[in-house]
Structure 1
Amino acid sequence: MNSIRFQVHLSEDSIIQYATRIEAPLQRIGGALIAPSTMPITFWKIADAPWLDMPEPLIHGKQQFHYGAPLTAGMDLDCDLSLTKVETKAGRQGALTLYTHSLTCSCAGKHIVTVETVLISVGDKS
């Protein structure tokens, strides 16, 4: 299906801004600032996935995070975002199209996080 590769530099400023927006506490490990566990959802804006360029809004379905190590300030992440599945289901307000994604990020070859996300659009796509 569709997939893109991109890089993310995780700065202290970006972690502080995100943590402040979601009212998450700031934490450190070995002196390094740790990103809130949901921060990878912001990486999609950097990715600019062309298949997500839709006129209708997308609803967030579900999301799972699988961490191999914490996200910390100073990391240069190599990320892969893939659209792994598209399915249509009947909903109360019409057809629902479910877009399943996988975002995998590593740093210096070490797995950091994999995020599985389902986004939903409402309405007939035919």
Structure 2
Amino acid sequence: MLPVVLAAAAVTAVLGPLPDPRPPYGGHPRPAPQEQLKLSHVADTGSAVTVTLTCDPPGGGHPEPAEACAALAEVDADPDRIKPANRACILLYQPVTAELTGTWQGREVSWKHRYGNTCEMRRATGVLFRF
């Protein structure tokens, strides 16, 4: 019996305790986030970047999820309603297309816009496409 106890102790020491098999929240499965969005920007040169964004709680691959969720909440997930930043962009034509798709507060959203370059995109959309 002692070898089994020692073996179990060694496994626990190396791997840590086993995860609790019960679902979180007192036995109820965790609800799916109501906001599950995919944000991407694709340049005409072929480079593309895509991240996921979840809100409630903020997360996903976006580098600033809480700020991006707050920005979307202010405009009800319509990036066209974001007030552009007051900054200049160089007049260099390198087109980029920004796209947001997914679910926001239980409804499907889809938005797409083409900008002259990434500076113009970020000026118009703030933190949303800053990745």
Query: Which bin holds the TM-score, normalised by the shorter protein?
Result: under 0.3
Q: Is the strand fraction higher in 1 or 2? A: 1
Q: Which structure carries more relative contact order (alpha carbon 8 Å, separation 6+)?
A: 1
TM value normalised by structure 1? 0.26
Structure 1 or 2, whichever has the larger Rg, is 2
Q: Is the helix fraction higher in 1 or 2? A: 2
